[in-house]
Amino acid sequence: MIIGFWFLVLLSACAASVEPTPQLPPAPTVVPFTPFGGLPAQGQIITLGYLLVRESGALLVGSASFAAAQPQALGNPVDAIWCGDPAMLHITGALSGSDPVRSAIVIARGTLSEPGAYGPSGIYRRQLRDAMLTVIVPEETSVANLQDNTGYYEGRVVRVNGGIVTRDTSAVLVDRLGSGGVPQPAARQVKLRWTADDTALLAQLNSAPGGKVRFGQVQIEGYWHNGTLIALAIRPVSP
């Protein structure tokens, strides 16, 4: 019965709110991009991802883990894009962090080389040539704002705090998480798509009875698309 309850929490529709919603200004033009997982095998691209810069070179990934001491790439390594020597890259904006790893969310423009063997020991299948990387600073917002202004946030990069409730690859983000990981009455929630192989994050989340559901307070950087928050990074937050 407990597992059944959690499954309903993950799949339930977002609760209605009677609280007034602040009016947002007209949405500025959003740079169109191809999601990381939908890129062609080669050719000209504009995409959004997390840039991880080490002394050995720069790597563009669809999502990154920030739950351990240093940022780590998530997802299938064959999907990562090697960007080469950081000193040779054109990067507009400032990277975060310090050595050995600096990072930023970027809009990446350039040409994907034909599939091959790139980077250290040729471990990456894709490489971005003539890369132009623009650092994107996420907009601070809330679960309620995302839900109430879905058109405004479409395609925009955001930073949101809330409580994650996840089982396997299904997840939601709620604005008020009660004890035991149960959303509080009238809590607002949005669907969340994330990379469930973030073992460092999972290790820091709480487990509900039965162990299949995990929950906790987090900060998410990602983008809003078709009523779903697509996570680029999830950081655990101390309660």
Distances (CA, A) of 142 to 10, 103, 159, 227: 19, 24, 8, 14
Average pLDDT over residues 43-64: 96
Does pLDDT of 22 surpass 60?
no
SS3 track for 139-159: EEECHHHHHHCHHHHECCEEE
148-192 pLDDT per residue, tens: 999 999 999 999 999 999 988 889 999 999 888 888 999 999 999
Average pLDDT over residues 227-234: 96
> What pLDDT score was predicted for residue 239?
67
- In terms of pLDDT, which residue wins out, 211 or 139? 139
DSSP element (H, E) containing 236: strand 228-236
112-146 pLDDT per residue, tens: 999 999 999 999 999 999 999 999 999 999 999 99
Burial of 37 (0-12, 13-18, 19+ CB in 10 A): exposed
Does residue 65 contact residue 71 with C-beta atoms inside 8 Å?
Answer: yes
> What pLDDT score was predicted for residue 11?
43
> What pLDDT score was predicted for residue 30?
74
Taking the domains of the chain in order of start, what are their residue ranges? 43-135, 139-236
Whole-prediction pTM: 0.86
Does residue 54 contact residue 101 with C-beta atoms inside 8 Å?
Answer: yes
Average pLDDT over residues 188-217: 91
> What pLDDT score was predicted for residue 167?
87
> What pLDDT score was predicted for residue 76?
85
> What pLDDT score was predicted for residue 29?
53
Does pLDDT of 6 surpass 60?
no
**Could you tell me how many residues make up the chain?**
239
Computed over every residue of the chain, the mean pLDDT equals 87
89-118 pLDDT per residue, tens: 999 999 999 889 999 999 999 999 999 999
- The pLDDT-based confidence of 7 (bands split at 50, 70, 90) is very low
Does pLDDT of 238 surpass 90?
no
- The pLDDT-based confidence of 216 (bands split at 50, 70, 90) is very high
- The runs of H, that is alpha helices, within the chain are 2-11, 143-148, 150-153, 199-202
DSSP element (H, E) containing 79: none
> What pLDDT score was predicted for residue 143?
97
Does pLDDT of 85 surpass 50?
yes
32-41 pLDDT per residue, tens: 999 998 999 9
Bridge partners of residue 129, in order along the sequence: 111
DSSP 8-state class, residue 177: B
Distances (CA, A) of 37 to 23, 41, 62, 75, 172: 33, 11, 7, 10, 21
| Among the four given CATH numbers 2.40.50.140, 1.10.340.30, 3.10.20.310, 3.90.180.10, the one describing domain 139-236 | 2.40.50.140
At residue 220, what are phi and psi to the nearest 5 degrees? -115, 130
